[in-house]
Structure 1
Amino acid sequence: MTLLHQAYDQYTAEDRQVWQLLFERQLQALPGRAAPEFMAGLACIGFTADCIPDFRQTNQVLRRLTGWELVAVPGIVDDAAFFGLLAARRFPATTWLRKLAELDYLEEPDMFHDVFGHVPLLTNPDFCRFLHQLGHLGTLHASDADAVELLARLYWFTVEFGLLRDAGSGAARIYGAGILSSAGETRYSLGPEPRRQPFDVARVLDTAFRKDVFQTDYFVLDSLDQLPATLPRVQRALRRVACLSEAGR
């Protein structure tokens, strides 16, 4: 896997405009929809509309708060590399931004998704503990395609498209980066169309997903500390998959 430098001075005027437009649009959409934990992290990390985040500055904050850091990558990394980075408390992020003509949809995540969507919760200890332990599980099972599929489902329905019950109102709020970085799915996920159900790890592991449409199902956590608490059950499921794979050889 090739790690990159951010090359911060190479961002163009269009890049800065794209970041500002996306940031301001999401900042208008998120109050009352985003989980308080995400909004607190966004304030803590110090992102603003008029400044593309500099990984060097962001990492100073993350290291101080949770021991995590961003690493620049050229695009989607393979499973073994991805899990290895998480196990080392390093989160992979692209450094390129979409074009103005692509504000509403991209096939591959860009920096706005990776950084605006993911980084604020890297300030949260419970969330970081989950990612770290997930990384260790992934490194143990990265060569087993069936196990990786289960881990992908867990990651998808939590880190990317998870909802969280608000402790005060009891309403669902968003913490998944795939929703928080999408203006359309931010509104859709809390609207009348999709199914929202209590988080159950067995059901999550049994639920397939598609990347090219809004989700039909979302799972709602009671609190972020529920995430690391689910991992022993995930580990047992992975062991069963490994046993079945071994028996089938």
Structure 2
Amino acid sequence: MTMNVADYARECAARGLRGDYSVCRADFTVAQGYNYNDEEQAVWRTLCDRQTKLTRKLAHHSYLDGVAALGLLDKIPDFGAVSEKLRKFTGWEIVAVPGLIPAQPFFDHLAHRRFPVTNWLRTQKELDYIVEPDMFHDFFGHVPILTQPVFADFMQMYGKKADSVIALGGDEMITRLYWYTVEYGLIREPGQPLKAFGAGLMSSFTELQFAVEGGEAHHVPFDLETVMRTGYEIDKFQRAYFVLPSFDALRDAFETADLAAIVARRKGEPALGPASL
């Protein structure tokens, strides 16, 4: 059942979330409100400068191509201007939200090639860690890879299929797929070194290095059903990272999988421990 916007705004206020949910439209979007001050612009440049030193070495070339094509580094992006560029690549656009939004409207946005991006930025004191996803995580982490047609198709497909998987009782399973690919995915194309593309890695100075270069990071070949069965870490570095051979492999596996059968077969089973893979 879709949550009422006013009810969700009250719930977010009670949880202490910092976004202004009181001004949400029916689809949980808001105006970006491009009124960022000099300190916020400085935080954006600091984050981008620091993270770019790593992504140029550790990120997949498709992510780096997206950053270059969209022009995200000099100042806080204007959502409308970036959307104009993004539509030309894959038909996607950016919509502003005040922070986390309910699953159903989130999936609906993805299904219609709209990616929700938080309209506020962390403070200078939160450069290294922030509890809620902010604009830097959403924009610097997620948006560049949406310039890649195959990955963009997967994201739309995910939005279209997620609700039906949840209705079958597979909410944890479909969430794990998003976590281990969209947020913390790695890729190693034939003959190429291991690279990262997941947004949680792109926006994390420390975990990006750990995931790609850390000796304790466990790199597991991608298998859709295994991913959907594997638990994940929320408040620490991942114990396992799934490695794609290509974005085509991700899209094709999701497109052809019998998700209902996977849920029926695995629902109720304890999650696989990521340290045991």
**Do the structures match in fold with TM over 0.5?**
yes
**Distance in 2 between the 1:208 and 1:20 partners?**
35
CA contact (8 A) 2:60 2:197 kept: yes
SS of 1:15 mapped into structure 2: helix
Q: How does 1:134-213 map to 2 (within 5 A)?
A: 134-144=158-168, 146-169=169-192, 171-190=193-212, 191-213=214-236
SS of 2:57 mapped into structure 1: coil
Q: Could you tell me how far 1:32 is from its partner in structure 2? A: 2.3
TM-score (normalised: structure 1) = 0.91
Q: Which residue of 1 aligns with 2:72?
A: 47
Q: Could you tell me how far 1:110 is from its partner in structure 2? A: 0.4
Q: Could you tell me how far 1:112 is from its partner in structure 2? A: 0.3
CA contact (8 A) 1:201 1:233 kept: no
2:206 maps to amino acid: G
What value does the CA root-mean-square deviation take over the aligned residues? Answer: 1.7
Q: Which residue of 1 aligns with 2:55?
A: 30
Q: Which residue of 2 aligns with 1:3?
A: 29
Q: Could you tell me how far 1:143 is from its partner in structure 2? A: 3.8
CA contact (8 A) 2:185 2:198 kept: yes
SS of 1:70 mapped into structure 2: strand
* CA 243–180 in structure 1, closer or farther in 2 if over 3 Å, else same: closer
The reply to whether residue 229 of structure 1 matches residue 255 of structure 2 is no
1:185 maps to amino acid: E
1:73 maps to amino acid: V
**Ranges in structure 2 where 5+ consecutive residues have no aligned partner:** 1-26, 268-277
Q: How does 1:68-83 map to 2 (within 5 A)?
A: 68-83=92-107
The reply to whether residue 220 of structure 1 matches residue 246 of structure 2 is no
Q: Which residue of 2 aligns with 1:65?
A: 89
TM-score (normalised: structure 2) = 0.82
Higher relative contact order (CA closer than 8 Å, sequence separation 6+): 1
Q: Kindly, what percent of the aligned residue pairs are identical?
A: 42
1:131 maps to amino acid: M
More moved, 70-79 vs 154-163: 70-79
1:81 maps to amino acid: P
**Ranges in structure 1 where 5+ consecutive residues have no aligned partner:** none
2:205 maps to amino acid: A
**Distance in 2 between the 1:173 and 1:101 partners?**
29
SS of 2:260 mapped into structure 1: helix
1:28 maps to amino acid: K
**Distance in 1 between the 2:250 and 2:220 partners?**
16
Q: How does 1:4-23 map to 2 (within 5 A)?
A: 4-8=30-34, 10-23=35-48
Q: What do the CA deviations read for 1:138-173 (whole angstroms, capped 9, x no partner)? A: 1323445x312111100100000000004443x210
* CA 240–230 in structure 1, closer or farther in 2 if over 3 Å, else same: closer
Q: Could you tell me how far 1:244 is from its partner in structure 2? A: 8.7
Q: How does 1:111-122 map to 2 (within 5 A)?
A: 111-122=135-146
CA contact (8 A) 1:113 1:177 kept: yes
Aligned positions, number: 240
CA contact (8 A) 2:165 2:263 kept: no
**Distance in 2 between the 1:141 and 1:166 partners?**
30
Moved over 4 A (4+): 242-245
Q: Could you tell me how far 1:238 is from its partner in structure 2? A: 3.0
